[in-house]
Structure 1
Amino acid sequence: MVFSKLRPLGRSGIAASAVGLGCWAIGGHFILDGRPDGWGDVDDAQSIRAIELALDLGGTLFDTADAYGTGHSETVLGTALKRRRADAVIATKFGFTYDAAARALLATDVSPSYVDWACTQSLQRLGTDYIDLYQIHVGDLPDDAADAAGEALERLVDQGRIRAWGWSTDDAAKAARMLKFPHFSAVQQELSVFRDGPEMLELCAAENLASLNRSPLAMGMLTGKFSNASQLPGSDVRAAGHSWVRFFKDGKPLPELVARVEAIREVLTTGSRTPAQGALGWILARSPHTMPIPGFKSEAQVRDNLGALDFGPLAPDTMAEIDRLLAGFDPL
């Protein structure tokens, strides 16, 4: 079967590159729960060059959020896409309130009035009059709050301010509740060689939803560049002490994960792939609905990640060999 470098964004009628770009890192420094939640220092000019390169290489899907740098990621993305908006599919997210001056996230809000306000702010920062995919960023919501947000998002579609919407959540049952809304088209789930999500993938297959995949490289572990001696600076989210960062502890990669990467490195790099391209190929093979969105801070990372489009999904026997090699490790 010939691999298409484009995949449908669920039932939205929008098509985008099968591998996208996650724009968390280019947001720069910001704070969550009193701890750094960015990925260290950034160079905005370099970020813009990387986005322009991505478009040249066929990468059209860009996933950002108003939380990333409390708006800075959206501003940088909007600047880079200023002359090429029609070439890009912009996905952004809302739901975390913030103090932009302090670069700090404060709380969560998905009320209808906040949805309307947050959309207006994102449109201004992105320099566009429409968002292709607008996503709820808060992963767990009471049913009544989720329904109210869904109704508000449908109104934004009616107004032409967004084309479709989705939810960043790993709870398949909660995502399934949103199918009653006609423009609910995508979920954003964590998915990688180290973190499968079969229930959500089954929902996407049954209901024609796109699965955008965050942490597709396990926060960088699957690039193969870390060793037991690696140490990240305190300004990096992976060293900040957040309880939900599972692949690193105090800025050091977990030794058992370094061992896992080494166990599968040769298989991931089959066909002259890099480790990152192999890990993204695993996701592409996992389901025809997947769309991994690896992060980037440089042109070299964009070239590496989007190179996965040239190789396509891993072969079934390669997928089976990875399962076999990882079977001896304790589950995460």
Structure 2
Amino acid sequence: MNYVDRKGNRFVNPITTRQLGKSGITVSALGMGCWAIGGEMWIEGKYDGWGPIDDNESIRAIRRALDLGVTFFDTSDVYGTGHSERILARGIQGRRHHVVIATKFGFTYDEASRQITGANLSPAYIRRACEASLRRLQTDYIDLYQLHCGASAEQVESILETLDQLVTEGHIRAYGWSTGDPASARLFAKGTHCVAIQHGLNVFGDAGAMLDLCEQYDLASINNAPLASGLLTGKYTADSVLPANDFRTAGHEWEPYFDSGRPKPEFLQKLAAVREILTSGGRTPAQGALAWIWARSNRTIPIPGFKTVAQVEENCGALNFGPLTTQQMDEIATLLG
């Protein structure tokens, strides 16, 4: 497959691919997470974005990812309360059929104030959310439609029924759930067209039970936080302090790697312990972290976020190195205990 460098020269990139579970859909082994390019939003009064964005740079970054062989983009209707989906649509304009789009539903939000207001999992709301995402993405189908919030066992039955109807009607091709709970994922995995579970996975946080479940049910493992909220890029030190308009400063209880905008010392120590292995062969720390994920399972698809062309190029560069070796994985496991 041919790719294009920044000067317009064509070349062959030894990119690897992964299967999107049992769907028959092939995607690049690296996806792009589109949370950051959504820009500002708030939940329960707390900032929930990644700081200022430049929409033109976001679009350039999406197009650069496409040129480097990325075919999988993960977003959500709630990222920037719709803004991320709109920017993704502009970035892939004219290339929709070369791209696999994953988006999410479940949260309610106010687009004007960019506030996340709650959740709604009723069949009627799921349909409205799907229609709204289709409009923003400027497409007539969504490849992977993912539940983005928690749900009870009773709700799951109704959700699956609605999603199966959306598949039959051609609005979506398949569905999944973004959850860190294997028990919840197991309920969803029984759905006829469930092909993926999105969950956290990185050098600092393994997810053995979830990977086992994905293997059992023939699901793709889509990995958010592959760079541990940026900590695994290696650019943060004990003296780093993030600005107020950054979710890592906002005090979200679900953010494990930063405290009040500062990287937690225990994770800086862990990174220092394994940095030499991650940077083997000329990799950057981020590229090594992605290599760890690929080595962990042949079902994994990491989706690092981005705001710039440079970040996309660094992350895509990991594809040229491939996964870590078994020996390197064992060494990291020993060092991190």
Same fold (TM over 0.5): yes
Q: What are structure 1's unaligned runs of at least 5 residues?
A: 328-332
Identity percentage of aligned residues = 54
Deviation for aligned residue 1:110: 1.4
What is the aligned partner in structure 1 of residue 250 from structure 2? 240
What is the aligned partner in structure 1 of residue 57 from structure 2? 46
Deviation for aligned residue 1:310: 1.2
Which residue of 276, 288, 297 corresponds with 2:298? 288
TM-score normalised by length of structure 2: 0.95
Deviation for aligned residue 1:324: 1.3
Find the residue that maps to 1:144 and give its secondary structure: helix
What is the aligned partner in structure 2 of residue 163 from structure 1? 173
Which residue of 310, 327, 332 corresponds with 1:322? 332
Which residue of 177, 198, 201 corresponds with 1:191? 201
CA deviations on 1:145-198 (whole Å, 9 max, x unpaired) are: 111111111111001010000000111122122233211000001000011110
What is the aligned partner in structure 1 of residue 34 from structure 2? 23
CA deviations on 1:207-234 (whole Å, 9 max, x unpaired) are: 1100000000000010000000001001
What is the aligned partner in structure 2 of residue 78 from structure 1? 89
Report the AA paired with residue 320 of structure 2.
Answer: D
Which residue of 143, 149, 155 corresponds with 2:153? 143
What is the aligned partner in structure 2 of residue 9 from structure 1? 20
Report the AA paired with residue 271 of structure 2.
Answer: V
Deviation for aligned residue 1:290: 0.4
Cα distance in structure 1, aligned partners of 2:249 and 2:261: 4
Which residue of 272, 276, 299 corresponds with 1:262? 272
Cα distance in structure 1, aligned partners of 2:245 and 2:73: 24
Runs of 4+ aligned residues of structure 1 deviating over 2 Å after TM superposition are: none
2:259 aligned with 1:249, yes or no? yes
Which residue of 52, 62, 73 corresponds with 1:62? 73
Which residue of 114, 119, 125 corresponds with 1:103? 114
Report the AA paired with residue 32 of structure 2.
Answer: L
Paired residues of 2:15 and 2:320 also in contact (CA < 8 A): no
Cα distance in structure 2, aligned partners of 1:171 and 1:244: 13
Cα distance in structure 1, aligned partners of 2:232 and 2:125: 37
Cα distance in structure 2, aligned partners of 1:277 and 1:311: 8
CA deviations on 1:1-21 (whole Å, 9 max, x unpaired) are: xx8611000011111011100
Report the AA paired with residue 61 of structure 1.
Answer: F
Cα distance in structure 1, aligned partners of 2:122 and 2:202: 32
Which residue of 293, 303, 307 corresponds with 2:317? 307
Which residue of 105, 129, 138 corresponds with 1:118? 129
Cα distance in structure 2, aligned partners of 1:119 and 1:131: 8
Output aligned runs, 1:224-235, within 5 Å. Answer: 224-235=234-245
Paired residues of 2:71 and 2:100 also in contact (CA < 8 A): yes
What is the aligned partner in structure 2 of residue 330 from structure 1? none
What is the aligned partner in structure 1 of residue 7 from structure 2? none
User: Root-mean-square deviation (CA), in Å?
Assistant: 0.9
Report the AA paired with residue 218 of structure 1.
Answer: A
CA deviations on 1:278-325 (whole Å, 9 max, x unpaired) are: 000000000000000000000110011111111111000000111111
CA deviations on 1:211-266 (whole Å, 9 max, x unpaired) are: 00000000001000000000100100000111111100110101111111111111
CA deviations on 1:41-85 (whole Å, 9 max, x unpaired) are: 000000000000000000111000011000000000011111110
Which residue of 188, 196, 209 corresponds with 2:219? 209
Find the residue that maps to 1:307 and give its secondary structure: helix
Q: What are structure 2's unaligned runs of at least 5 residues?
A: 1-13
Cα distance in structure 2, aligned partners of 1:207 and 1:244: 27
2:176 aligned with 1:172, yes or no? no
Find the residue that maps to 1:125 and give its secondary structure: helix
Report the AA paired with residue 265 of structure 1.
Answer: R
Cα distance in structure 2, aligned partners of 1:147 and 1:172: 17
Report the AA paired with residue 305 of structure 1.
Answer: N
Cα distance in structure 2, aligned partners of 1:217 and 1:200: 18
